[in-house]
């Protein structure tokens, strides 16, 4: 999840998206990343998933407000009472009846995303989701099916706060078309590697290959020196290809995984399975 690259990137929508597109992206991500999905995993993973989802939610609220749209289905006017991000700076201190102090710490978050205007507060600044500048979306990859704009925008990856803006997206030939994968790096303090790995493993165990692939991609991007993460990433891609009935692509990915990590037994098993079928 490129939460740290601004709300558009967090939701995986293009900068000029309509409220309907933003909303659709939010709903799709909610289905994937709502903390209930991780409710049976260890507490630290659940915590991480809450942070991730809060990032998605804030991005949605920020964008919908900037578009003058409601954050709830079927409301005609934006609600003024969504405290998730609204509280900062806007609450006057009720004790002494004095106006609230200007909030100083905003400077630490860098410039606000261009799209959201001056009144929009930065998305949850504490925790591990720093708001930085919204990067322009990575270019759509050749061969992307011509769907609506939301679909052409970058596909969101798992919500581990990723991304230093400006890292160029890497295009890898041969990867499945859905996997628009810029490979940015994380600010060092904003990431719990262990929790990220737990999330990814849980997704693999659940055979949710595409989400697992996104999670592993985030992980591998964060720790580029780790061969085992990249191996797992190739394995997940292989499984995804296999599920999409592309055994050749799958075999290639499994081989790559084994080159990176010869001990990855799952990849070996999966590869043997494909070769047997041939």
Residues in touch with other proteins (CB under 8 A): 23-24, 27-28, 30-31, 34-37, 39-40, 46-47, 50, 53-54, 57, 72-76, 79, 81-89, 91, 93-96, 98, 100-101, 103-105, 124, 126-127, 206, 208
- In 3D, which of 158, 193, 178 has the Cα closest to residue 237? 178
Q: Cβ of residue 46: shortest distance to other proteins, in angstroms?
A: 7
Nearer to other proteins, 34 or 268 (CB): 34
Nearer to other proteins, 122 or 184 (CB): 122
- In 3D, which of 69, 205, 47 has the Cα closest to residue 128? 47
Q: Cβ of residue 70: shortest distance to other proteins, in angstroms?
A: 8
3-state secondary structure of 106: helix
Nearer to other proteins, 67 or 221 (CB): 67
CB-count exposure of residue 215 (10 Å: 0-12, 13-18, 19+): buried
**CA distances (Å), 15 to each of 80, 137, 145, 206, in order?**
24, 7, 19, 33
Q: Cβ of residue 80: shortest distance to other proteins, in angstroms?
A: 11
Q: Cβ of residue 150: shortest distance to other proteins, in angstroms?
A: 12
Q: Cβ of residue 81: shortest distance to other proteins, in angstroms?
A: 6
Q: Cβ of residue 149: shortest distance to other proteins, in angstroms?
A: 17
What span, in angstroms and rounded, lies between the C-alpha atoms of 11 and 57? 9
Is the Cβ–Cβ distance between 156 and 12 less than 8 Å? Answer: yes
What span, in angstroms and rounded, lies between the C-alpha atoms of 196 and 202? 10
Nearer to other proteins, 150 or 231 (CB): 150
Return the bridge partners of 182, or none: 169
Nearer to other proteins, 78 or 165 (CB): 78
What span, in angstroms and rounded, lies between the C-alpha atoms of 266 and 277? 17
Nearer to other proteins, 124 or 223 (CB): 124
Nearer to other proteins, 141 or 239 (CB): 239
Q: Cβ of residue 223: shortest distance to other proteins, in angstroms?
A: 26
What span, in angstroms and rounded, lies between the C-alpha atoms of 7 and 135? 10
**3-state SS of the chain: helix, strand, coil percent to 5?**
50, 0, 50
Assigned token pair, 224: 């580029």
Nearer to other proteins, 108 or 118 (CB): 108
The continuous run of DSSP H or E covering 220 comes out as helix 209-222
What span, in angstroms and rounded, lies between the C-alpha atoms of 146 and 135? 23
Q: Cβ of residue 235: shortest distance to other proteins, in angstroms?
A: 18
């Amino acid at each position: 999840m490129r939460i740290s690259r601004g709300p558009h990137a967090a939701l995986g929508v293009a900068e000029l998206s309509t409220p309907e597109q933003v909303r659709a992206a939010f709903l799709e991500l909610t289905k994937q990343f709502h903390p209930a999905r991780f409710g049976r995993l260890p507490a630290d993973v659940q915590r991480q998933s809450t942070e991730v989802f809060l990032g998605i939610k804030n991005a949605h609220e920020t964008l919908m407000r900037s578009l003058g749209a409601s954050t709830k289905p079927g409301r005609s006017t934006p609600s003024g009472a969504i405290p998730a991000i609204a509280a900062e700076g806007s609450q006057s201190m009720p004790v002494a009846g004095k106006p609230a102090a200007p909030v100083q710490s905003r400077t630490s978050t860098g410039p606000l995303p261009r799209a959201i205007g001056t009144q929009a507060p930065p998305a949850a600044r504490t925790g591990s989701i720093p708001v930085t500048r919204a990067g322009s979306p990575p270019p759509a990859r050749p061969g992307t099916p011509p769907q609506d704009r939301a679909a052409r925008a970058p596909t969101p990856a798992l919500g581990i706060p990723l991304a230093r803006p400006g890292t160029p997206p890497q295009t890898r030939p041969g990867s499945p078309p859905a996997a628009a994968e810029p490979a940015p790096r994380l600010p060092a303090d904003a990431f719990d590697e262990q929790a990220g790995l737990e999330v990814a493993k849980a997704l693999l165990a659940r055979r949710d290959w595409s989400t697992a692939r996104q999670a592993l991609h985030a992980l591998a991007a964060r720790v580029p020196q780790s061969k085992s993460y990249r191996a797992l990433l190739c394995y997940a891609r292989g499984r995804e290809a296999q599920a999409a009935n592309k055994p050749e692509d799958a075999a290639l990915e499994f081989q790559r995984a084994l080159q990176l990590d010869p001990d990855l037994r799952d990849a070996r098993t999966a590869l043997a399975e494909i070769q047997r079928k041939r």
